[in-house]
Structure 1
Amino acid sequence: MDIKKDVQQQFGKNAASYVSSPIHKDGKDLVKMVEMAIVNGQEHLLDIATGGGHTANAFAPLVKKVTAVDLTVEMLAAAENFIKENGHLNVNFVQGDAEKLPFEDKSFEIVTCRIAPHHFPNVDLFIKEVQRVLKPQGQFILDDNVVPENEDFDRFYNTIEKLRDFSHYRAWKKSQWIEKLEESCLEIFEMHRFEKTFHFEPWCANMKLSEPKKNDLTKYILETPQRIKDKFRIVIEDGKVICFVGEAIILKAVKR
């Protein structure tokens, strides 16, 4: 089974939980994304890998039109229900692949993508597609989990994410995002780093992780070296993982 089928399988069966997930629904990062965008109300915005539709929902009152695209039809249905319940009727929903977008060149003033690129098997193709569909001077606002520059920390975080969610491909380093975007003629204007506290039980429950797999994940975390535990501020009580702290970035880039 390839990674894209993995993504469709995972998110298809967990679509509703992503609409209600606190990290996706209530994140302060979403407020920051909106603050970073320059809008005049006439923009056509593309939200890639819309998931539960939270980003599309946040921008819908601010722009003329939103197109929400996702690989998984169940996620699109959940997003559409959520957004229409909030009274936004200027959003259309399209099934599509982030690495091969079904839109013409220079179609959008703004492109957003939130908490999704770590699932993309070819992030360079994704960036190329963003650059293609953006109009000149168009804004790209990216929000995703990242890993520290240290190789051991990188390996640990990507390993636990993969153990929890087989559709996880890779969280990238901050330096890698900067390099990839600027190589694609997307000029970085603004960047924010923020921390995210992951509470272990709901983090696993979001993916409906089985008890044996959750036990394997717990064992891996418990046995990890102390310096990694310190870095990720892993809280362990009575042999159980309570929470840990990861990091994410929001980048705003402009097409030149």
Structure 2
Amino acid sequence: MSFDKSAFNYKISSDHKSGTDLDILKRLFGNKKFDKTLDVATAAGHCAKIFNAKQYVVSDLSFNMLKETLTDWSSPSAVQNCAESLPFQNQTFDLVSCRIALHHFREAESFFKESFRVLKNKGFLVLIDSLVDIDDAFLTTIEFVRDPSHFRSYTFKEIVDMTSGYFRIEFMQLLYKKHNFGEWAERLNPSRKRLKKITQAFLALPENIKEELSLEVTDENILSYTDKKAVIILRKL
């Protein structure tokens, strides 16, 4: 698994260890205390640490990601599992969070149903992920070139449709996140051949998509691009 080989890169990643999205969570949940929280696809646990809980549980499909989370944080219980089938009893958690991972899930609707099941009544589901428009298929294609585990990002309407009947949306904020291209492209330790392929895919984008992504290029060297993220707070019905 590519994430096992690059777990430390995610721990130190500027895209993951900090960000406006985490600042928003601190503002929204800073005064709330929970008995038990679950962070799904936790990576290095950056999101899980935001919340004030008596008991933390972190889960991830990657064993090494969980090891990185526990290296300097002894509080959580760690469980290795996939997001679409959570090995927990009904109504166990006050809050479930999932940050920058939904686009990897091949059965996103199953994740939402499982989150609903393991949450207590009126529990929170905190979701942060890429948000796309209809014409953002170009970026999805490039993401797959970089990381074959990337499945797809969703539109806001698709997320609303998948969660309808299970959750109500209490908060949503759209963010524009600027990525250092070199750090982003090399995070999964690609071969030179794959790195060149990622770069060429960006350079071959139509001009209107380059403009949409605010692509910064100097002498055929890509410096950065900007995509859309959404912070969505849902409440169990």
Is 1:255 the equivalent of 2:236? Answer: yes
Q: How far apart are the structure 1 equivalents of 2:41 and 2:194?
A: 27
Aligned to 2:227: 246
Runs of 4 or more above 6 Å deviation = none
Is 1:220 the equivalent of 2:201? Answer: yes
Closer/same/farther in 2, CA of residues 177 and 38 from structure 1, 3 Å limit: farther
Letter in 1 for 2:36: H
SS in 1 for 2:53: coil
Runs of 5+ unmatched residues, structure 1: 1-8
Aligned to 2:14: 22
The RMSD of aligned alpha carbons is 1.4
Contact 1:36-1:252 at 8 Å conserved across structures: no
Closer/same/farther in 2, CA of residues 193 and 40 from structure 1, 3 Å limit: closer
Runs of 5+ unmatched residues, structure 2: none
Aligned to 1:236: 217
Closer/same/farther in 2, CA of residues 10 and 156 from structure 1, 3 Å limit: same
Contact 1:195-1:246 at 8 Å conserved across structures: yes
Is 1:66 the equivalent of 2:50? Answer: no
Aligned to 2:158: 176
Cα displacement (A) at 1:42: 4.0
Contact 1:188-1:253 at 8 Å conserved across structures: yes
Deviations 1:82-102 (A, max 9, x none): 323xxxx3x211111110000
Q: How far apart are the structure 1 equivalents of 2:168 and 2:108?
A: 17
Letter in 2 for 1:232: L
Aligned to 2:176: 195
Report which of the two has the higher share of helix: 1
Q: How far apart are the structure 2 equivalents of 1:173 and 1:38?
A: 28
The partner residue of 1:167 within 149, 153, 176 is 149
Is 1:138 the equivalent of 2:123? Answer: yes
Cα displacement (A) at 1:38: 7.5
Contact 2:134-2:155 at 8 Å conserved across structures: no
Q: TM-score, normalised by structure 2?
A: 0.95
Cα displacement (A) at 1:74: 0.8
Q: How far apart are the structure 2 equivalents of 1:68 and 1:56?
A: 7
Q: TM-score, normalised by structure 1?
A: 0.89
Aligned length: 237
The partner residue of 1:150 within 121, 128, 134 is 134
Letter in 2 for 1:230: E
Aligned to 2:68: 78
Deviations 1:85-122 (A, max 9, x none): xxxx3x21111111000000111111111111111111
- Percent identical residues: 31
SS in 2 for 1:43: strand
